[in-house]
Amino acid sequence: MTSTSLPASISSATPAGAAAASQDFTPRYWLFSLPAVLVIAAVIVFPWLFTLYMSGQDWKIGGGSEFVGFGNFAELAKDARFLESMGHTAYFTILAVVLPIVFGTAAALVFHREFPYRGLLRTIFVMPMMATPVAVALVWTMMFHPQLGVLNYLLSLIGIGPQGWVYDPVTVIPTLVMVEVWHWTPLVMLIVLGGLAGLPREPYESALIDGANDWHMFRHITLPLVWPFIMVAIVIRTIDALKAFDTIFVITQGGPGTASETLNIFLYLQAFQFYKIGYASAVVVIFFVIIIMLSLLLLYARQKSKWNA
């Protein structure tokens, strides 16, 4: 066996080796990380510090700023429109996470089985995921049109009257969730399908010998083993649903009225339509705290769902 390193006893035997061994090069190594530190400070740390600073200011574009401390946060706590947007965000996020997880897991179980044209059908199933959110939103906007949309025409063929879709305050969020489900269920399917492909066969063979049926094998073998992959899909979907903006803004812009105004839409309108930068910065800080708390909760749940070897 050969070694590429020089033993310490040999390297310190010569004067040059002893001098090199006595020098500490750690301060020089820090210089190599300096560009990355500067980029992180400029791109991540400074914007956040500036946002925190602005959240304590009453500043509207075109006017002067005034330090108000926690005044913006106190005003948000009494703002009915802000509280309503938080409810819309929770409603949208729960539906946009649960439904793709259920449908994606069911699709993964189907595509995990062998049947003719499985590869072709799987390719067709994942095609919605390849489209950009804005393009998807524009296509669905035309389909939701009450007079010219194809959805109401299809419903009329089976005797169902026209629906309000995104033009009805009651159905607007479930309709937006329907677009999210169509768009992102393939992603969940791919994640769960990857987990199913790696499952061992021995537990299923033992279960068949013991007389277990398909439901028993899914409930007591497949679901526990594939649950860590489902948790990964839940984390990804939760983050995507919380930051959903482009699809909602293109289709409804928060309407009708404020019926689909989520926190992202509320934040955008405060900052770029009403030009209340300080107020919008306070919304960003609250939104950031919510995301951090939810992320820690999901990461803890994902850690608990890992297989115990």
Q: What would the mean pLDDT of 124-132 be, rounded to a whole number?
A: 92
pLDDT at residue 26 greater than cutoff 80: no
Q: How confident is the model at residue 27 (pLDDT cuts 50, 70, 90)?
A: confident
* Percent of the chain whose predicted confidence (pLDDT) is above 70: 91
Q: What would the mean pLDDT of 134-163 be, rounded to a whole number?
A: 91
Between 174 and 5, the more confident residue is 174
Q: How confident is the model at residue 298 (pLDDT cuts 50, 70, 90)?
A: confident
- pLDDT tens sequence across 151-189: 999 999 999 988 999 999 999 999 999 999 999 999 999
pLDDT at residue 304 greater than cutoff 80: no
pLDDT at residue 10 greater than cutoff 80: no
pLDDT of residue 22: 64
pLDDT of residue 16: 57
Q: What would the mean pLDDT of 20-35 be, rounded to a whole number?
A: 75
For 278, the token pair is: 């300080």
pLDDT at residue 212 greater than cutoff 60: yes
The one-character DSSP state at 41 is I
DSSP 64-89: -EEE-TTHHHHHHHH-HHHHHHHHHH
pLDDT of residue 63: 78
| Crossing angle between the packed helical segments 263-272 and 80-111, to the nearest 10 degrees | 130
Q: Phi/psi at 63 (nearest 5 deg)?
A: -125, 180
Which residues does 236 contact at the CB level (< 8 Å), separation at least 6? 187, 191
pLDDT of residue 2: 41
pLDDT at residue 279 greater than cutoff 50: yes
- pLDDT tens sequence across 216-265: 999 999 999 999 999 999 989 998 999 899 999 999 999 899 999 999 99
pLDDT of residue 146: 87
Q: How confident is the model at residue 21 (pLDDT cuts 50, 70, 90)?
A: low
Q: What would the mean pLDDT of 101-116 be, rounded to a whole number?
A: 94
pLDDT of residue 1: 39
Q: Phi/psi at 152 (nearest 5 deg)?
A: -65, -30
Q: Return the H-helix or E-strand segment holding 219.
A: none
Which residues does 10 contact at the CB level (< 8 Å), separation at least 6? 17
pLDDT of residue 5: 46
pLDDT at residue 126 greater than cutoff 50: yes
Compute the distance between CA of residue 204 and CA of residue 230 in angstroms, rounded to an integer. Answer: 20
Rounded to the nearest integer, the mean pLDDT of the chain is 88
pLDDT of residue 62: 77
- Beta bridge mates, 276: 60
